[in-house]
Amino acid sequence: MAPPTEENREQFIRVIVADSQAIFRAGLRKIFAVEDDIRVVGQAETLPQATAAAKKFAAEILILEAALAERPAEALQEILKETKDLRVVVVTEAPDQEMTLDLFRRGAHAVVSREIDSELFVECLHKVAGGEPWLEPHAVRWVLEAYRTQGMRPPSARTKVQLTPKEALIVSCVTQGMKNKEIAARVGTTEQVVKNYLRKVYDKLGVADRLELALYCLNSRVLQDAKQAAPVAQSGASAAEAPKPEAPKPEISSLPEAASIKPTE
């Protein structure tokens, strides 16, 4: 299959498959090969290879086998520290409540069983590539139960968090299901500034993604100041107020020829 050209590169969801089982990697490549918008750009069979691939390959999604690491959630967190824009789909042998919750807390966009149906796996990648989390039914139940339990703790047991008016407005937009582009238009700024604000909010609230943020807001009064916030000027955030955007990552147009990382054929 011919590689994507510069003109249509952005049409593809570029995926790295990191799994210890060669037959599983081959199976995923066969499944994705018939999809018009998914390309496997690299493979790895160990955690060090997966970490190196995540840093070197230009990809949107890393499919990561949980069993590659002794502590999967910690390994995931370390990978995301180096590649903040990468979205990670973790593959587990069997449903595990504690691991699933920990993985989502550390930044996973999806946790799926190795036995997942191929059509569902493709749907999962499309959702994740669009910035949405993917949860299987049992995982939804686990996440909701975890946040209900957190919400039942006495107020004194939870750290009081205060958001700035602009942070509160952006969080309010997220809970309404608005995407970053829509939020930027509403606030009068750029998508990159919205992303920077969201990262800061995630750190403040101790959440990993939009799903956890929305669930957090269901069990707290973090948005109570949003209604009192003054309208945001359409001129956008000032340079002093907005967090500084991160330097753009260099685009890698070809797979590095390293013995420790297996490029696709």
pLDDT means over runs of 10, the chain (265 residues) = 46 92 93 92 94 90 94 90 88 84 86 90 92 80 69 48 84 82 90 89 81 72 50 41 46 35 48
CATH topology of domain 154-241: Arc Repressor Mutant, subunit A (1.10.10)
pLDDT at residue 164, as a whole number? 86
Rounded to whole angstroms, the Cα distance separating 230 from 77 reads: 36
pTM above 0.85, yes or no: no
φ and ψ at residue 16, rounded to 5 degrees: -110, 130
pLDDT at residue 150, as a whole number? 56
pLDDT at residue 214, as a whole number? 75
CA-atom Rg of the chain in angstroms: 19
State which CATH number among 3.20.20.70, 3.40.50.2300, 1.10.340.70, 3.30.70.20 fits the domain covering 10-145: 3.40.50.2300
Residue ranges of the chain that CATH labels 3.40.50.2300: 10-145
pLDDT at residue 20, as a whole number? 94
**Sign of the dihedral through C-alpha 25, 71, 200, 216:** positive
Rounded to whole angstroms, the Cα distance separating 213 from 143 reads: 12
